Amino acid sequence: MPARLSQPEFGLLNGYRVVMIGLSVAAPFAGELFAEHGAEVIWIENPKAIDSSRVARRSGAWQQDRRNMRSLSLDYVHGAGREVFARLIETADVLVEASVGGRFAKIGYSDQTLWELNPGLVIAHISGFGQTGDPSYVSRASYDPIAQAFGCVMRMNGLPGQPSAPAMPFPADYAAGMFAFGMANAALLKRQQTGRGESLDIAQFELMMRLQANYPTDYYRYGLDYTKEGNRSRICALYGTYTAADGEELYVLVLGAGVVPKVLALLDLDYGSELFPTGSTFVPVDTVAAQVLEASFAEFLSVHTAAEVEEILAGAGIPCSRLMDYEAARTHPQYVARQVITEWLATDGQTRIPGVKVVPEVAGYPGQVWRGAPTVGMDNDEILADLGISAQLRDELYAAGQLTRREYFETTGG
């Protein structure tokens, strides 16, 4: 294990060191999951350019998804920066990097080279199209919507007859972060048996394909393609978004042998009749039964607010929810009871940052937020000292612009 940098001991991953290199969302989110659950996470930033997360939409992404991390603003590709990076890799348990496929090998950091430095290193490569395959695609640049487009998922989103739209917020990025986190931890478990590291090739477009449930199988086996649904199911009645008497929206999902009789009873419709046979698990759309059910529900909606509809349906065991917004979440009793919205202190020691707590809840070794997101290069000196880098080499790196430190506490971006 490396000499520990100063931080509290907590969480399921206490004692592990993770190096994270990546912009925007995917790799940083993987690193954030490690950081929130006790690992020591060192975020390597470009010394010549500020990460877009620090300036986009008033820096909320940086504040939420870089908390607990260390910032090392280092040019790890050129000159003496490579020596520093090599020493860091020697001490690391996990490297998470996001870039175009093959970039790390191209700049001299192939998996084999990294394992020569540290045979037990777990390497998670995140890219749009993967590390292998058609060369013209492997080297392509990508962002979340590109992965959605190429991964056959974007065409599913939006209203029928209207242009397709990307799902928000950033499912390809966040899925990549979660896959990297989960599989890297699986590789760490395997390392306990073998003593050897592992390499993970996380292609975002593949994740989008994998997360489409039955639809790819249905197409390749039966020729059944997905039809864009919009805000209502194309299979089940009472499955979609509805508007109550007060103009507020809610989502209702009537599916399952236990749910169908409950909604029929609520609407004074006869379960076990010819229209609604006993044992029905859903009411198919484009049937007389669906027309009757939808009409009865529309009448019910016309005399109730969304809050009343939710209370009545949920009380009857029918899955539903109002469409919440951030203001409603702030005071909702379930959000409050679970302390979902929390605050932590920024690294300026003064600013309170509001955001979402560490999830999921862990009983024995809970995660925590022990400090805010770092400023650019905030931890350079401590990290280099921990690696045994001399003060002379450190100063030379600063003088050459290969090591940078910037004050960046602003919460308004820019």
> What are 123-159's pLDDT values in tens digits?
999 999 999 999 999 999 999 999 999 999 999 998 8
pLDDT in the model for residue 270? 95
Tell me the C-alpha to C-alpha distance, in Å, between residue 26 and each of 32, 42, 161, 180, 213: 10, 15, 32, 9, 22
β-sheet bridge partners, residue 406 = 376
pLDDT in the model for residue 4? 64
- Which runs of consecutive H residues, i.e. helices, occur in 103-170? 103-106, 111-117, 135-138, 144-150
Closest-CA residue to 374 (of 65, 99, 102, 134): 65
Pairing of strands 122-127, 94-98: parallel
Up-side HSE of residue 252: CA atoms within 13 Å toward CB? 28
| CA separation for the pair 87, 74 (Å, rounded) | 13
pLDDT in the model for residue 56? 61
pLDDT in the model for residue 72? 97
- Mapped onto helix, strand or coil, the DSSP state of residue 18 is strand
Burial of 244 (0-12, 13-18, 19+ CB in 10 A): buried
Is residue 98 a contact partner of residue 173, using CB atoms and an 8 Å limit?
Answer: no
> How is the chain split into domains, by residue range?
17-211+341-399, 239-328
Is residue 83 a contact partner of residue 378, using CB atoms and an 8 Å limit?
Answer: no
| CA separation for the pair 391, 236 (Å, rounded) | 68
| Amino acid (one-letter) located at 93 | D
CB count within 10 Å of CB 31 equals 29
Q: Which of 173, 218, 270, 286 is an active site residue?
A: 173
DSSP letters along 301-347, please?
HTTS-HHHHHHHHHHTT--EEE---HHHHHH-HHHHHTT-EEEEE-T
- Which runs of consecutive H residues, i.e. helices, occur in 66-128? 81-91, 103-106, 111-117
Tell me the C-alpha to C-alpha distance, in Å, between residue 35 and each of 2, 15, 224, 286, 358: 16, 11, 43, 50, 10
Is residue 255 a contact partner of residue 249, using CB atoms and an 8 Å limit?
Answer: no
Q: Which CATH superfamily is domain 17-211+341-399 in?
A: Crotonobetainyl-coa:carnitine coa-transferase; domain 1 (3.40.50.10540)
173 is catalytic: yes
Closest-CA residue to 207 (of 244, 246, 175): 175
Which parts of the chain sit beneath pLDDT 50?
A: 1-2, 409-414
- Mapped onto helix, strand or coil, the DSSP state of residue 406 is strand
Handedness of CA 253, 214, 186, 200 (dihedral sign): negative
Q: Which CATH superfamily is domain 239-328 in?
A: formyl-coa transferase, domain 3 (3.30.1540.10)
Tell me the C-alpha to C-alpha distance, in Å, between residue 194 and each of 100, 122, 183, 197: 30, 12, 16, 8
Is residue 411 a contact partner of residue 79, using CB atoms and an 8 Å limit?
Answer: no
pLDDT in the model for residue 408? 60
Q: What is the pTM of this model?
A: 0.93
